[in-house]
């Protein structure tokens, strides 16, 4: 049996278990272990597991709740930076994190070791080929399909719509957006490998970028997620995402 010391954090309700480790020669985590610890009934429960390696550089590996690997998470990387700072008793505010989507710069404004605000440079938003029935398709290190929401759609109907779109693109997060005004939108999100989530950082960026491209919003927009607001700024060189980070608990996970 192996005991792992984890931290649990969330960004606007998008929750993660985080293992901060010295760079391992052979990674301990794998899909079955990630799936087990993220299970909300039989494990600790989380939208994903983040492994932060802190050797000469900080790197991130993200497992979705189903054990699959995700390239990037806007909320996850902000939580990971805060967890690394807490674990190492760091006094720094800025860190560069290596991800499967490339290097991402994170800036922290912590009110305490357990709570604060964080922003991350998300890179260039790449617009992909359109899909009939969608407002747009974009890649923010991971793929997204953005759909104009309909208040009459039940969660089951949204899941059916999302399944159809993801089948066409080989897997994607699907955001259902309501445009409130030029500065604010509201989304509900079905994440690839997770399901419904209370917030999605990359999805907020993809939604803001597509809405701005379509002339529906300004470059700076507040994205209302079910778990809280995230702030997005769209720039041709690099979009940015900002929002809260909150420590939840230290967790001892005994894997049989």
Q: What is the pLDDT along the chain (256 residues), one digit of tens a residue?
A: 788 999 999 999 999 999 999 876 678 899 999 999 999 999 999 999 999 999 889 999 999 999 999 999 999 999 999 999 999 999 899 999 999 989 999 999 999 989 999 999 999 999 999 999 999 999 999 999 999 999 999 999 999 999 999 999 889 999 999 999 999 999 999 999 999 999 999 999 999 999 999 999 999 999 999 999 999 999 988 899 999 999 999 999 988 6
Residue 78: what are its φ and ψ, rounded to 5°? -70, -40
CATH superfamily of 126-236: Diaminopimelate Epimerase; Chain A, domain 1 (3.10.310.10)
| 206-209 CB contacts, 8 Å cutoff, 24+ apart | 206/125, 206/138, 206/139, 206/140, 206/144, 206/146, 206/173, 206/175, 207/144, 207/146, 207/175, 207/177, 207/232, 208/232, 208/234, 208/239, 209/125, 209/127, 209/138, 209/140, 209/234, 209/239
For tokens 């860190």, what's the residue? Answer: 95
Tokens of 2: 């192996």
Distance between CA atoms of residues 164 and 192, nearest Å: 13
Write down the domain spans for the chain: 2-122+243-255, 126-236
Looking at 3.30.70.60, 3.40.605.10, 3.90.76.10, 3.10.310.10, the CATH number of the domain 2-122+243-255 comes to 3.10.310.10
Q: pTM above 0.85?
A: yes
Angle at 63 between CA 101 and CA 250, to 5 degrees: 115
Equal CATH topology for 2-122+243-255 and 126-236: yes
């Amino acid at each position: 049996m192996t005991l792992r010391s984890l931290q649990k954090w969330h960004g606007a309700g998008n929750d993660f278990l985080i293992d901060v480790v010295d760079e391992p020669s052979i990674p301990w985590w794998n899909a079955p272990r990630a799936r087990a610890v993220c299970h909300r009934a039989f494990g600790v429960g989380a939208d994903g597991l983040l492994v932060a390696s802190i050797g000469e550089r900080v790197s991130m590996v993200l497992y979705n709740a189903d054990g699959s690997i995700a390239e990037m998470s806007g909320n996850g990387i902000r939580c990971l930076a805060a967890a690394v700072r807490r674990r190492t008793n760091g006094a720094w505010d800025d860190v560069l994190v290596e991800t499967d989507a490339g290097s991402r710069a994170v800036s922290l404004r912590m009110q305490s070791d357990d709570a604060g605000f964080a922003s991350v440079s998300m890179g260039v938003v790449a617009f992909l080929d359109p899909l009939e029935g969608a407002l747009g398709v974009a890649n923010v290190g991971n793929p997204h399909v953005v759909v104009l929401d309909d208040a009459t759609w039940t969660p089951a109907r949204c899941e059916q719509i999302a399944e159809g779109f993801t089948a066409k693109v080989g897997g994607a997060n699907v955001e259902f957006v309501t445009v409130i005004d030029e500065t604010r939108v509201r989304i509900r999100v079905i994440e690839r490998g997770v399901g419904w989530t209370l917030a999605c950082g990359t999805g907020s960026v993809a939604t803001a970028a597509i809405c701005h491209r379509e002339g529906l919003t300004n470059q700076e927009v507040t994205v209302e997620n079910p778990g809280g607001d995230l702030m997005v700024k769209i720039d041709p060189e690099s979009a940015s995402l900002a929002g809260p980070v909150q420590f939840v608990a230290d967790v001892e996970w005994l894997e049989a």
